[in-house]
Amino acid sequence: MRDDAPNSWEARADAHSFYGFTDLPSVAERGAVVLTHGKGPYVYDVHGREYLDANSGLWNMVAGFDHPGLTEAAKAQYDRFPGYHAFFGRMSDQTVMLSEKLIEVSPFPRGKVFYTNSGSEANDTMVKMLWFLGGAEDQPERRKIITRKNAYHGVTAVSASMTGKPYNEVFGLPLDGFIHLTCPHYWREGRSGETEADFTKRLAKELEDVLEEEGPETIAGFFAEPVMGAGGVIPPPDGYFQAIQKILKKHDIPLIADEVICGFGRTGAVWGCESYGFTPDAIISSKNLTAGYFPMGAVILSPDLSDRLQAASEAIEEFPHGFTASGHPVGSAIALKAIDVILNEGLIENARSLTPIFEAHMARLAKHPHIGEARGKGLMGALEAVRDKDTKEPFSSDLSISERIANTCTDLGLICRPLGQAVVLCPAFIMTEAQMEEMFAKLEKALKQIFAEVT
């Protein structure tokens, strides 16, 4: 609970911090949680309280909060070369090596990488690249971007326009030319009597209809998360990406995989697109790219897109876009180490070994009369709260059901994330079986308490 002393950490946070993506009534009642440090998958607040972070920070602290190899990589690079850019044909050696590594571990036989400071900026950059190509290749009408309702692609004006969330209406977004198709959530969006295969066919038909209506020659690209993350951990229906990509290829429309959350092991494979058996035209990476130890994003381009962008840039002698900290040498050094830690030091294997335990607990909790669906892929999942399981009727929004569950979890020493009426879990890859048991025991206790209060 909050400490209202005028010099308390909570009061100081309220006085000078403007909160983003924060339930303000909860903060008004409970105060901010001000953290000081972390150990493994745990974080600690200014009062010495310990919390098991079941959300890996914000999906990204997969190696925990005190991994010695990652902190040493940062320290060594700060001592060696603490900062630079990637403009004017100059970049650090670490940036060159990271680009080589990203192409090596990508599904592409070759390609190029462009760096940003976040996933939002990477998605924004990819849109500008597609618009740039349209103009350079005498197709200036290729401006429209297709995504899906409930998708999350970022918070810049362009990436927020791709994000299919109603809250963006308060900013007057989306901008013109951004098209949102049906959310590929079979449990919620499937019609009565409609099989999963039929649902996939309907979504593919919807894409075909939209292309016919808009004109395929006006579409610059289709962006999709392999598993929708901030939409509530929504895996696609069977065969979805194969059906979608076939249509896109017919009209030469690039498919961009937003792997900000899924990339580097979250779904059990290196890339989410691998988990669902498709190869995109470009990959957007962030979060696990540095295991959360540095703000960095990357656009990883396939051979086709990299060749076309190179030719378009050579025609005007440059690609007029970039960020001061693009390809930062410290970030690059950390990313090189993070990729090595995830892929070669047992983290992805541990995540895979924990997944059956994770799935078993999720399936057990799904039997609760007020859990409508347990869904997920790999080491990411969501539990959807419902008032009526048979009809899928949600709880009244004024109950703030998921926020209450998450707040109760916090009181029990567990951090989880409320999203709509769902509670989301995406634990660190370093979790042990004992910590997994602790996570679900605390979550179950919170669920029982809140469901007893509201029913």
Instruction: Assess contact for 218 and 142: CB atoms under 8 A.
Output: yes
Looking at 290, 324, 344, the residue that finishes a domain is 344
Instruction: Assess contact for 338 and 63: CB atoms under 8 A.
Output: yes
- Tell me the average pLDDT of the chain: 97
Instruction: Assess contact for 294 and 98: CB atoms under 8 A.
Output: no
Mean local confidence (pLDDT), 212-223: 98
Mean local confidence (pLDDT), 181-206: 97
Cα–chain center distance at 194: 29
What is the rounded distance in angstroms from the CA atom of residue 102 to the CA atom of residue 188? 36
For residues 325 and 354, membership in a common domain is answered with no
Mean local confidence (pLDDT), 410-438: 97
Token match 């009061």: residue?
Answer: 11
Mean local confidence (pLDDT), 294-311: 98
Instruction: Assess contact for 416 and 50: CB atoms under 8 A.
Output: no
In CATH, what number is assigned to the domain containing residue 149? Answer: 3.40.640.10
pLDDT surpasses 80 at 70: yes
| Bridge partners of residue 383, in order along the sequence | 374, 423
- Does 397 map to a domain? yes
For residues 329 and 394, membership in a common domain is answered with no
Mean local confidence (pLDDT), 183-195: 97
Name every residue whose Cβ is closer than 8 Å to that of residue 70 and which is 6 or more positions away in sequence: 63, 291, 293, 334, 337, 338, 341
Q: Which residues of 150-173 are buried (b: 16+ CB within 10 A; e: fewer)?
A: bbbbbbbebbbbbbbbeebeeeeb
For residues 114 and 101, membership in a common domain is answered with yes
- Does 8 map to a domain? no
Instruction: Assess contact for 263 and 271: CB atoms under 8 A.
Output: yes
What is the rounded distance in angstroms from the CA atom of residue 190 to the CA atom of residue 184? 9
For residues 132 and 52, membership in a common domain is answered with no
Mean local confidence (pLDDT), 32-58: 97
| Whole-number percent of the chain with pLDDT over 90 | 98
Strands, DSSP E only, in 92-193?
Answer: 112-116, 144-148, 178-181
pLDDT surpasses 70 at 1: no
| Predicted confidence band of residue 455 (pLDDT cuts 50, 70, 90) | confident
Cα–chain center distance at 255: 17
Name every residue whose Cβ is closer than 8 Å to that of residue 371 and which is 6 or more positions away in sequence: 365, 383, 384, 385, 386, 389, 447
Q: Up-side HSE of residue 322: CA atoms within 13 Å toward CB?
A: 18
Task: Provide the token pair at 363.
Answer: 């399936």
Tell me if residue 264 falls in helix, strand or coil.
coil
Task: Provide the token pair at 420.
Answer: 């709509």
For residues 60 and 190, membership in a common domain is answered with no
Can you give the pLDDT at residue 377? 98
What is the rounded distance in angstroms from the CA atom of residue 369 to the CA atom of residue 190? 21
For residues 117 and 250, membership in a common domain is answered with yes
For residues 150 and 281, membership in a common domain is answered with yes
- Does 127 map to a domain? yes
| Whole-number percent of the chain with pLDDT over 70 | 100
| Predicted confidence band of residue 6 (pLDDT cuts 50, 70, 90) | confident
- Does 27 map to a domain? no
Range of the domain at 200: 70-344
Amino acid at 358: F
pLDDT surpasses 90 at 222: yes
| Predicted confidence band of residue 3 (pLDDT cuts 50, 70, 90) | confident
Total number of domains constituting the chain: 2
- Does 26 map to a domain? no
What is the rounded distance in angstroms from the CA atom of residue 301 to the CA atom of residue 117? 17
Amino acid at 86: A
Instruction: Assess contact for 150 and 181: CB atoms under 8 A.
Output: no
Condensed to tens digits (0 to 9), the pLDDT of residues 369-404 reads 999 999 999 999 999 999 999 999 999 999 999 999
In CATH, what number is assigned to the domain containing residue 420? Answer: 3.90.1150.10
Looking at 304, 322, 344, the residue that finishes a domain is 344
pLDDT surpasses 70 at 353: yes
